[in-house]
């Protein structure tokens, strides 16, 4: 087949611009969108210069604030920075955009730090393993690569089960500022070729409580629930200091405006994060902080802080403003997208912006458009110049965004399923779309907060209030998935206290079993007894995934340029929530049984 025919078939069969054009947090870590280095080059050059200044110890810490309106390419820029660091290895990279509990910002950042370091670094393995290898090499004067280190760890562990303990002692001999030896031990355990051991080590580093059997096996101490937020900042500081001994750390805070809530003190996500960045700036040895926000956020929220000068002097030593596109930028942007497309199709176009008219693109550039608007124009005008094709059936405006979030979940569902707050938020949003409807004989009238003292908060996530057969029902929902031990026990203890928390029924959402002979199992038996008529709803990945995706679309609705009404309409039209097994099981008559398909916590 001739190149011309292949070209025509390629353009007819696929529109490379017909895709969600929003850069979401998951795209930062993946190849994602084609990068056009000339766009906002002034901004990336400033960041790379700052990294080099810190790397060469000209300055210990530099704070950079990127100000730009929605759609001007903040996240594209951050993705470019991340890719460069993965290529040249000049720094480790941490990305924070998802905060589920603003009242526990330090613990939330620790979780984001641990998850970021799970991603592949410049040496083909996780950034955790890069750090563990650097620590070992310094302590033993070796020059292992991370790949060699993983093999070495496996070989030594076979003959010496105490190897991590011995290596930790050796490291502590040169790392006198490490206050918690378990941090060193957990980092070294990330070298394990056993996926379970590696995962539990990272979970511990993220501040999670481990099943006691796993904590004992790894030689790591579980901290109490009350201590975790207090300890989180110390753990963060020690991890960042360890990294700083070998490389700078680049910490990026993004998408802060998408978090539509305040903490108990009334501070927004942007304000809470800016204060955290200021505190981190004061404590770490070497690093670059990048905070991306809208200009209005800077003016109305950051500058309005009581300690504004103290914050801005640190997070905005350098301020970068992103610019709207010019005609040359539009040509460069479209050309790069089309080059990637034609290279994949293995065809050669007549010119770099074919099938578009370069003059039209230049006219578009005179309007100073945003990147997303240019790409949307390309999607809408994708056609052969002389061929009239019948219009395609209209898709629901939410469909592409929903599919995008479903695809994103494929690579991170193991982390999402362990995040109780994220699971609970997805369930709460899902039930909120059903207010006024009757499902499983329950007419839902309200989704309400649990009124509790601080000591009781965080265990029962919310309650569903409704009418069932003429009676008022108040179903307390406790998502207790990524927890075990004392937290699980504490959660179940509260879930059965119907009077204290104004419930008529308690519902546990969890996939993992509850060990026999424990206090938690006693509370569970009480919950499922005829006296309390509570319920245990089994958490399954295939059931929770659509709810997580819908909640992510709702949180990112401004980025996707969607309305709440459109999103809820899409969910109802496709029965994504109303036919979901978890939703129906929570509302159905309790069976009083332990689900058959619970999984062993140690798997």
Average pLDDT over residues 256-266: 82
Query: Residue 454, Cβ neighbours under 10 Å: how many?
Result: 8
- Residue 388: predicted pLDDT: 40
Average pLDDT over residues 142-167: 94
Per-residue pLDDT band for 476 (boundaries 50, 70, 90) equals very high
102 lies in the same domain as 189 = yes
Structure tokens belonging to residue 167? 């290596």
220 lies in the same domain as 273 = yes
| Distance separating alpha carbons of residues 536 and 422, to the nearest angstrom | 19
Sign of torsion, CA 272 323 249 255?
Answer: positive
Average pLDDT over residues 332-341: 92
Q: Is a pLDDT exceeding 80 seen at residue 277? A: yes
380 lies in the same domain as 273 = no
175 lies in the same domain as 249 = yes
Per-residue pLDDT band for 224 (boundaries 50, 70, 90) equals low
| Distance separating alpha carbons of residues 498 and 532, to the nearest angstrom | 8
Q: Minimal CA–CA distance to 153: which of 145, 143, 163?
A: 163
- DSSP, collapsed to helix, strand or coil, labels residue 516 as coil
Q: Which residue has the tokens 């949307």?
A: 376
Q: Which residue has the tokens 């890719």?
A: 83
Residues whose CB falls within 8 Å of the CB of residue 108, separated by 6 or more in sequence, listed in order: 99, 100, 101, 102
- Residue 387: predicted pLDDT: 47
Per-residue pLDDT band for 603 (boundaries 50, 70, 90) equals very low
249 lies in the same domain as 314 = yes
Q: pLDDT tens digit string along 557-574?
A: 888 889 999 999 999 999
In a domain, 583, yes or no: yes
- Residue 392: predicted pLDDT: 53
CA atoms within 13 A on the CB side of 403: 10
In a domain, 18, yes or no: no
Structure tokens belonging to residue 595? 């689900």
Q: Is a pLDDT exceeding 70 seen at residue 225? A: no
CA dihedral 174, 179, 181, 185 (to 10 degrees): -80
Entry pTM: 0.78
156 lies in the same domain as 91 = yes
**Domain edge (last residue) among 321, 356, 384:** 321
Q: How many residues does the chain have?
A: 603
Structure tokens belonging to residue 63? 């704070």
Q: Is a pLDDT exceeding 50 seen at residue 201? A: yes
In a domain, 602, yes or no: no
| Distance separating alpha carbons of residues 60 and 99, to the nearest angstrom | 27
Residues whose CB falls within 8 Å of the CB of residue 548, separated by 6 or more in sequence, listed in order: 405, 409, 416, 422, 423, 426
| Distance separating alpha carbons of residues 491 and 496, to the nearest angstrom | 9
User: Using DSSP, how many helices (H) and how many strands (E) does the chain show?
Assistant: 27, 11
The angle at the Cα of 129, spanning 110 to 135, to the nearest 5 degrees, equals 90
Of all helices (H) and strands (E), which one includes residue 337? helix 327-345
In a domain, 9, yes or no: no
**Domain edge (last residue) among 373, 392, 411:** 392
In this prediction, what percent of the chain has a pLDDT beyond 70? 96
Across the chain, what does the average pLDDT equal? 90
376 lies in the same domain as 429 = no
211 lies in the same domain as 67 = yes
In a domain, 13, yes or no: no
Per-residue pLDDT band for 33 (boundaries 50, 70, 90) equals confident
State the total domains in the chain: 3
Residue 302 in contact with residue 274, Cβ under 8 Å?
yes
Domain around 573:
402-587
| Distance separating alpha carbons of residues 419 and 116, to the nearest angstrom | 15
Residue 465 in contact with residue 440, Cβ under 8 Å?
no
Q: pLDDT tens digit string along 583-599?
A: 999 999 998 889 888 88
Q: Is a pLDDT exceeding 80 seen at residue 601? A: no
361 lies in the same domain as 317 = no
265 lies in the same domain as 384 = no
Of all helices (H) and strands (E), which one includes residue 439? strand 438-439
Residues whose CB falls within 8 Å of the CB of residue 462, separated by 6 or more in sequence, listed in order: 424, 427, 428, 431, 447, 448, 449, 450, 476, 477
306 lies in the same domain as 409 = no
Residue 552 C-alpha from the chain's centroid: 10
Q: Minimal CA–CA distance to 577: which of 380, 435, 467, 477?
A: 435
93 lies in the same domain as 142 = yes
Q: Is a pLDDT exceeding 70 seen at residue 274? A: yes
Q: Minimal CA–CA distance to 239: which of 277, 203, 284, 282?
A: 284
Q: pLDDT tens digit string along 374-412?
A: 988 999 999 887 544 455 567 888 999 999 999 889 888
| Distance separating alpha carbons of residues 256 and 262, to the nearest angstrom | 12
Q: Is a pLDDT exceeding 60 seen at residue 184? A: yes
Q: Is a pLDDT exceeding 90 seen at residue 169? A: yes
Q: pLDDT tens digit string along 296-321?
A: 999 999 999 998 999 999 999 999 99
In a domain, 3, yes or no: no
- DSSP, collapsed to helix, strand or coil, labels residue 143 as coil
- Residue 393: predicted pLDDT: 62
């Amino acid at each position: 087949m001739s190149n011309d025919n292949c070209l025509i078939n390629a353009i007819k069969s696929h529109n490379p611009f017909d895709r969600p054009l929003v850069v979401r947090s998951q795209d930062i870590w993946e190849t994602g969108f084609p990068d056009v280095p000339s766009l906002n080059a002034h901004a990336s050059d400033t960041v790379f210069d700052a990294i080099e200044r810190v790397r060469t110890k000209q300055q210990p810490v530099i704070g950079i604030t990127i100000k730009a309106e929605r759609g001007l390419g903040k996240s594209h820029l951050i993705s470019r920075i991340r890719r460069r660091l993965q290529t040249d290895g000049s720094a480790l990279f941490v990305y924070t955009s998802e905060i589920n509990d603003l009242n526990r910002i330090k613990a939330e950042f620790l979780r984001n730090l641990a998850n970021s370091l799970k991603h592949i670094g410049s040496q083909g393995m996780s950034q955790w393993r890069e750090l563990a290898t650097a620590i070992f090499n310094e302590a033993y004067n070796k020059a292992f690569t991370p790949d060699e280190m993983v093999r070495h760890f496996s070989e030594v562990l076979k003959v010496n089960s105490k190897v991590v303990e011995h290596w930790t002692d050796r490291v502590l001999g040169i790392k006198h500022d490490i206050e918690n030896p378990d941090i060193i031990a957990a980092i070294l355990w990330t070298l394990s070729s056993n996926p379970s051991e590696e995962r539990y080590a990272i979970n511990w580093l993220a501040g999670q409580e481990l099943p006691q059997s796993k904590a004992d096996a790894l030689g790591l101490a579980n901290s109490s629930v009350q201590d975790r937020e207090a300890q989180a900042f110390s753990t963060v500081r020690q991890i960042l200091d360890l990294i700083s001994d070998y490389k700078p750390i680049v910490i990026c805070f993004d998408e802060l405006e998408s978090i539509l809530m305040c903490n108990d003190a009334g501070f927004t996500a942007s304000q809470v994060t800016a204060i955290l960045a200021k505190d981190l700036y004061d404590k770490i040895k070497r690093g670059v902080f990048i905070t991306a926000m809208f200009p209005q956020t800077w003016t109305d929220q950051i500058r309005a802080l009581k300690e504004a000068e103290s914050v801005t002097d640190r997070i905005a030593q350098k301020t970068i403003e992103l610019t709207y596109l010019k005609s040359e930028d539009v040509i460069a942007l479209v050309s790069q997208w089309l080059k990637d497309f034609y290279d994949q199709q293995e065809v050669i176009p007549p010119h770099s912006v074919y099938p578009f008219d370069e003059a039209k693109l230049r006219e578009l550039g005179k309007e100073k458009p945003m990147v997303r608007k240019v790409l949307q124009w390309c999607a809408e005008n994708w056609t052969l110049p002389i061929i009239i094709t019948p219009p395609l059936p209209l898709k629901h405006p939410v469909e592409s965004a929903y599919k995008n979030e479903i695809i994103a979940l494929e690579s991170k569902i193991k982390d999402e399923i362990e995040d109780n707050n994220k699971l609970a938020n997805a369930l709460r949003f899902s039930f909120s779309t059903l207010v006024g409807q009757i499902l499983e004989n329950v007419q839902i009238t309200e989704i309400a907060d649990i009124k509790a003292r601080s000591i009781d908060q965080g265990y029962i996530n919310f309650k569903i209030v409704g009418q069932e057969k003429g009676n008022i029902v108040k179903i307390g929902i406790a998502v207790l998935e990524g927890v075990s031990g004392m937290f699980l026990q504490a959660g179940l203890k509260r879930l059965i206290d119907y009077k204290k928390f104004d419930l008529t029924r308690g519902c546990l959402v969890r996939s993992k079993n509850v060990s026999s002979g424990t206090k938690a199992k006693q509370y569970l038996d009480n919950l499922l007894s005829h006296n309390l008529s509570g319920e245990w709803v089994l958490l399954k990945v295939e059931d929770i995934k659509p709810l997580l995706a819908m909640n992510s679309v709702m949180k990112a609705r401004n980025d996707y340029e969607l309305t709440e009404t459109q999103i809820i309409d899409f969910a109802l039209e496709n029965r994504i929530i109303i036919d979901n097994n978890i939703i129906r099981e929570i509302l159905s008559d309790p069976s009083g049984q332990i689900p058959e398909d619970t999984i062993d916590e140690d798997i």
